[in-house]
Structure 1
Amino acid sequence: MNMPDKIILLKIFVSLYIIFLVSDISFGQRSNLNSQVLQSGVYFKTSDDKLQRMFDEAECLARINIKDFGRYDVMVEGAGYSAVFLETQPMGGAMYAKRNIEIAKNNQLVFMDCQREDGRLPGSVRFKEGKLTSRYLELQGGFLPLEAFDVYFWIGKDPEYLTQLYETLKKYDNYLWKTRDSDNNKCLETWCIHDTGEDHNERFGNSYSSWGFSFAPTLDNLKKLSEKDSLELCSDIYNRCSGKLKLDSPMPVESMDVMSFSYANRYILARISKILQNGQSKFWDEEARTVCEKIRDYLWIPEKHACYDRNRDNNVMDVLIHNNLRCMYFGSFSQQMADEFIRYHLLNPEEFWTTIPLPSIAVNDPVFRNAAGNNWSGKPQGLTFQRSIRALENYGHYAELTMIGNKLLNTIKDSLFFVQQFDPFSGKCDEPAKRNGYGPTVLASLEFISRFYGIHLSQDKIYWSCLDDKNDFEYIQKWGDCHYKLQTRNDKVYCFINDKEMFWFTKGARVVSDFKGRIIAVIGIEPEAKTVTVSVSGETHSLSLLPNAEYLYKNKFRKLRSVEFSFSPNN
């Protein structure tokens, strides 16, 4: 077969694939609710060969992480982690909704359905010997509320699902406040290293990795442990402490993470209450506000421009940690707090803005360790990159997110390794042979592509984005009976819904529309100022778009806000 014939066959194959993608063909998804789950799928094509190879590899690795958990098909964490963990997989499933909405739903339900009577959610769920096995020896994060609420919109606003989610979050929040404030000072506590998913973190010193008891690991309680309880605690696979009790731990630690878990519960409970019209919206909004105020007044140190946890004696643990970014993910910071942490710390090359940014602990902190493996004492984690997307978008720091995402994508494009950790100084992948195919890194990469050269669907909006890049891009998102297409031609970006052109804009911006294609806003996502042209309804508009600037559109554009962009090229 000669080369022209091969090219013709390739074009035919691509055309057939697109027809398959945008048709009503089932993708083999298995529903576990009575409601019919929408079908979804993604097609991406670019002239950037390295980016295309990376995208294709990420798609393959993501599919490998889909597993049969009996009545659920779920996406596991991958790269040796065969369970679904509360710290990763609600978000992992939600990000995979672009390709399989049922997986997104199941990655929420597997936790909701396994909630204990007392409200405790499982930290992880495994499928062994034909049955689900839930583990309750650590909180393992509290990353269910935001993602599970998004999924409600994506599965057709199923009222049964929403009611279950409301009861789940209400019971879980009650559990936290009933058990995790042992000194009754209105600040929730972490009781073991895995509660916040910071495996092997040096800042916790000689603490237990897991703690399955309903009482706090105070010094007095440790000394009162029965021989049976002591043996049970020390023999857990994650503790391995040979029967010797750990009496010099900082636990219980008053935690910005656990407080943020509660904030997210209450924030979403307020949103659900509005939909259910149960009269509880104002109550939950006020409850969420009290959590934010406690974080600000008790854990935030104004002169340090950051939050710090407190140890069992309520003394400040003077370690500068990336967990401030986690608070931003949950939305528990004010705009001022987020701006200050980004300005003074996130963009500081002596702390978090390293060759590969986002180390778990500031690299100039004495507690920082550049340790290999699964260690939250230092190296940037793929999971932190994944969380950074919601964290920075929550506060309008789109341009900073572009810089972070590009650093990750450029690293992976060269290696094609999707690992758990990266060396912050050399930029090299950590243990690629052992940890390749790590789900959070795979999904973060795919999500960054959708944010930089594609389409993202939120609860009620569509984000059409394209950086100012010399390459060509085509991104198609199938969503139920609709398909949305972004296609570039030279410097213009054309946006279609069901093959009907809705508008176009020039590269270097994000356009936000509703699901009918009506423009709502234009956002500056580039780290440099751009002059952007938007054409809608036969009229063209020219905007001088600064980083993080947002313009609302109602027949004409008006500036809504411009969040500070304090990055200096000298960084």
Structure 2
Amino acid sequence: MRCFLCSVRVVNRRSFIRQSLASAVVATAARSGASSLSTKVSSTAPVFTTNHSGWQAAYDKALEILRNNVQILPRFDRPVLIEGSQYAGIWQECGPLEALVYRKFRSDVARNSHMVFFALQRPDGQLPANNKRSETSFGQIQMVVPIAATAWELAQATGDHELLETTYRACSRWDGWLMRYRNTRGTGLIEGFCTYDTGMDNCPRWAGIPPQCPDKDAKKCTQLSTLPRLCPDLSATVYGARVALADMAKALGKPSEADSWTEQAEYIRKLILTKLYVPEDAAFYDLDAQNHFVKVRTCIVTRMCGEHVVDQKLFDSLWERQIHNPKAFWAPFPLPSVALDDPTFVRPIPHNSWGGAAQALTALRAGRWFDHYDRSAEFSYLMDQWCTAILRDMTFRQQIDPLSGAFTAGDLPNYSPAALVMLDFTWRLAGLHEGQQALQWNVRPGHPAAHQAKFSLLTDAGYEAEMRYDATGAALYFRGALLGRIEGGTARLSTDKRGKAMRLTGISDKAQSITFQGAGRAPRHLALQPNQHIVL
């Protein structure tokens, strides 16, 4: 706690200066219209170049789409990253995570894309489901990735004490609102009142249920005998938020509140596992008001993993029976929104359908859990398949057919999550990725993205990190000095935030023979199996 708060004070002075300058820029831009904001990218933004013209074109187009989707919306006077395509607004279920992924390019936009929800929070604690050009909606709760978790990660990365305090207050009140109005059955789990609550439009999971709450009021539930439902994914969102709130309370010097949030998080986690998991199916289901499971196998399972509700033992079972099962969710282009072998899978695939299509949002969220459960090699396959589909199409639409990888023609192009998939996956596949605890150096000689490629970024601590590829491998540089070299095969080097080598990881689905040479050390020839860790 002491170290974080000290760093907050140091960094926050710099942040205050940057934010003051940014405010002046935003004020000027607001007078001339949102279009002037679309070209503003940080001068310290990451840089990626490759000799593979197709990959470079797709990457550059993704950046262009994201620049154009940075806009000012009504009722909030600072630029946020909108969803794009047919969605002229920002949604709580996805907008904060998307902006977090984009933060190295626009840290101000990442911050604003969280603060917009806190600024529009109602006095009773309700956060808006979205802020669109047409309206700010409170007609559903529409949450997936907890805004508390993404804001906490952003506050740590940027040393933003104001964001930390604002998030803690707002998300504590939001938890209270959810327990008052979405726990009407008194179970301690979060209830779904309508389709939009979970953001799974046109999904057979919600067949016969209205899309939105009556009178656009998320406190009201349509009078149906099967409503309200106990929802595993909505409950998992609250679990993840409480874990983040516990960490924030510690950082703010509130140990008793931290303990309380930890207890509440574990309480709802146990409820999810005991009431909403069916072991014989290896699946999580909604439980309707008549205490019947809604037995449609959907990407709920990935949302359980995204918030780390399941432990490694249960994950391994889910992995074998569902997630990595080619008959269920491990399609040629993972991950479908409904299992391939579920009888409710919707074909032909319509636009904006969580009835089977593999969604860019689900792919983007995969970075929150594949590495956590030691499935980095399989994550590489998912990323490659999605990037292959994007390079083949280049329209950056919402969803693909999980069997063919074809984007759905009925969706409009220039969708931010698809652009972020291309952006994020390029760096995770063959470049650098900065996590909360470590730097990942992903080396893939021979990969299309790695053709004479160069990756460079500025870490959160202000250090320069760079990868330079040649014909046989990549040289790794940190703070201008050679950190090491990997050649001959695919591997990930993990270092701490100061560049100290910690381990090598197998990130290919095939065994690799690599040579690793640390700066000033003799080369080491190593055999690396998929997902294997070698401590350095």
Normalising by structure 1, we get a TM-score of 0.81
Q: 1:272 maps to which residue?
A: 248
Instruction: Report the CA distance shift for 1:454/1:195 in structure 2 as closer, same or farther (over 3 A).
Output: same
Answering whether residue 464 of structure 2 is matched by residue 488 of structure 1, we say: no
Q: How does 1:18-417 map to 2 (within 5 A)?
A: 30-31=22-23, 40-69=44-73, 70-127=76-133, 133-143=135-145, 144-155=147-158, 157-211=159-213, 212-213=216-217, 215=219, 217=221, 222=223, 247=224, 250-279=226-255, 280-370=257-347, 371-417=349-395
Stretch moving more, 80-89 or 304-313? 304-313
Q: 2:531 maps to which residue?
A: 548
Separation in 2 of the partners of 1:81 and 1:533? Answer: 47
Instruction: Report the CA distance shift for 1:430/1:252 in structure 2 as closer, same or farther (over 3 A).
Output: same
Letter matched to residue 68 of structure 1: I
Secondary structure, counterpart of 1:465 in structure 2: strand
Separation in 2 of the partners of 1:527 and 1:86? Answer: 35
Q: 1:235 maps to which residue?
A: none
How far is the alpha carbon of 1:524 from its aligned partner?
Answer: 1.6
Instruction: Report the CA distance shift for 1:324/1:40 in structure 2 as closer, same or farther (over 3 A).
Output: farther
Secondary structure, counterpart of 2:280 in structure 1: helix
Separation in 1 of the partners of 2:404 and 2:380? Answer: 20
Separation in 1 of the partners of 2:296 and 2:530? Answer: 31
Instruction: Report the CA distance shift for 1:301/1:53 in structure 2 as closer, same or farther (over 3 A).
Output: same
- Contact kept? 1:451, 1:465, Cα under 8 Å: yes
Separation in 1 of the partners of 2:357 and 2:20? Answer: 38
Unaligned runs of 5+ in 1: 1-25, 223-246, 558-571
Answering whether residue 506 of structure 2 is matched by residue 528 of structure 1, we say: no
How far is the alpha carbon of 1:29 from its aligned partner?
Answer: 8.0
Separation in 2 of the partners of 1:29 and 1:79? Answer: 31
Secondary structure, counterpart of 2:103 in structure 1: helix
Instruction: Report the CA distance shift for 1:304/1:29 in structure 2 as closer, same or farther (over 3 A).
Output: farther
Instruction: Report the CA distance shift for 1:216/1:395 in structure 2 as closer, same or farther (over 3 A).
Output: farther
How far is the alpha carbon of 1:216 from its aligned partner?
Answer: 5.3
How far is the alpha carbon of 1:500 from its aligned partner?
Answer: 1.8
How far is the alpha carbon of 1:391 from its aligned partner?
Answer: 2.5
Q: 2:458 maps to which residue?
A: 478
Letter matched to residue 282 of structure 2: H
Q: 2:418 maps to which residue?
A: 441
Measured against aligned partners, the alpha-carbon deviations of 1:209-265 in whole angstroms (never above 9, x if no partner) come to 1114465526xxx3xxxxxxxxxxxxxxxxxxxxxxxx46x3311101111111011
Secondary structure, counterpart of 2:293 in structure 1: coil
Instruction: Report the CA distance shift for 1:28/1:117 in structure 2 as closer, same or farther (over 3 A).
Output: closer
Q: 2:485 maps to which residue?
A: 504
How far is the alpha carbon of 1:537 from its aligned partner?
Answer: 3.8
- Contact kept? 2:151, 2:163, Cα under 8 Å: no
- Contact kept? 1:359, 1:379, Cα under 8 Å: yes
Measured against aligned partners, the alpha-carbon deviations of 1:50-101 in whole angstroms (never above 9, x if no partner) come to 2112111111111111112353111100012110001111011001112111
Separation in 2 of the partners of 1:402 and 1:138? Answer: 35
How far is the alpha carbon of 1:142 from its aligned partner?
Answer: 4.2
Measured against aligned partners, the alpha-carbon deviations of 1:537-568 in whole angstroms (never above 9, x if no partner) come to 4223343322122233xxxx3xxxxxxxxxxx
Answering whether residue 405 of structure 2 is matched by residue 427 of structure 1, we say: yes
How far is the alpha carbon of 1:363 from its aligned partner?
Answer: 1.9
Unaligned runs of 5+ in 2: 1-17, 26-40
Separation in 1 of the partners of 2:247 and 2:157? Answer: 16
Separation in 2 of the partners of 1:289 and 1:378? Answer: 32
How far is the alpha carbon of 1:532 from its aligned partner?
Answer: 2.9
Letter matched to residue 59 of structure 1: L
Stretch moving more, 353-362 or 490-499? 490-499
Separation in 2 of the partners of 1:478 and 1:29? Answer: 20
- Contact kept? 1:355, 1:425, Cα under 8 Å: yes
Letter matched to residue 269 of structure 1: L
Letter matched to residue 103 of structure 1: V
Secondary structure, counterpart of 2:79 in structure 1: strand
Letter matched to residue 193 of structure 1: T
Letter matched to residue 279 of structure 2: P
Measured against aligned partners, the alpha-carbon deviations of 1:323-358 in whole angstroms (never above 9, x if no partner) come to 110121122222222222221112222222223221
Separation in 2 of the partners of 1:191 and 1:389? Answer: 29
Letter matched to residue 245 of structure 2: L
Letter matched to residue 231 of structure 2: S
How far is the alpha carbon of 1:283 from its aligned partner?
Answer: 2.3
How far is the alpha carbon of 1:451 from its aligned partner?
Answer: 0.3
- Contact kept? 1:162, 1:272, Cα under 8 Å: yes
Letter matched to residue 74 of structure 1: V
CA RMSD of aligned residues (A): 2.3
Larger radius of gyration: 1
Separation in 2 of the partners of 1:191 and 1:281? Answer: 30
- Contact kept? 2:444, 2:473, Cα under 8 Å: no
Secondary structure, counterpart of 1:72 in structure 2: coil
Secondary structure, counterpart of 1:79 in structure 2: coil
Q: How does 1:453-468 map to 2 (within 5 A)?
A: 453-468=430-445
- Contact kept? 1:39, 1:478, Cα under 8 Å: no
Separation in 2 of the partners of 1:251 and 1:531? Answer: 56
- Contact kept? 1:190, 1:196, Cα under 8 Å: yes
- Contact kept? 1:40, 1:100, Cα under 8 Å: no
Secondary structure, counterpart of 1:166 in structure 2: helix
Secondary structure, counterpart of 1:464 in structure 2: strand
Instruction: Report the CA distance shift for 1:299/1:313 in structure 2 as closer, same or farther (over 3 A).
Output: same
Instruction: Report the CA distance shift for 1:104/1:39 in structure 2 as closer, same or farther (over 3 A).
Output: farther
How far is the alpha carbon of 1:309 from its aligned partner?
Answer: 1.5
Letter matched to residue 114 of structure 1: L
Letter matched to residue 186 of structure 1: G
Separation in 2 of the partners of 1:48 and 1:113? Answer: 44
Letter matched to residue 197 of structure 1: G
Separation in 2 of the partners of 1:140 and 1:32? Answer: 33
- Contact kept? 2:506, 2:530, Cα under 8 Å: yes
Separation in 2 of the partners of 1:259 and 1:126? Answer: 26
How far is the alpha carbon of 1:497 from its aligned partner?
Answer: 2.5
Separation in 2 of the partners of 1:165 and 1:406? Answer: 35
Measured against aligned partners, the alpha-carbon deviations of 1:148-192 in whole angstroms (never above 9, x if no partner) come to 11111232x122211111112211112112221221122221111
Normalising by structure 2, we get a TM-score of 0.86
Stretch moving more, 271-280 or 441-450? 271-280
How far is the alpha carbon of 1:102 from its aligned partner?
Answer: 1.1
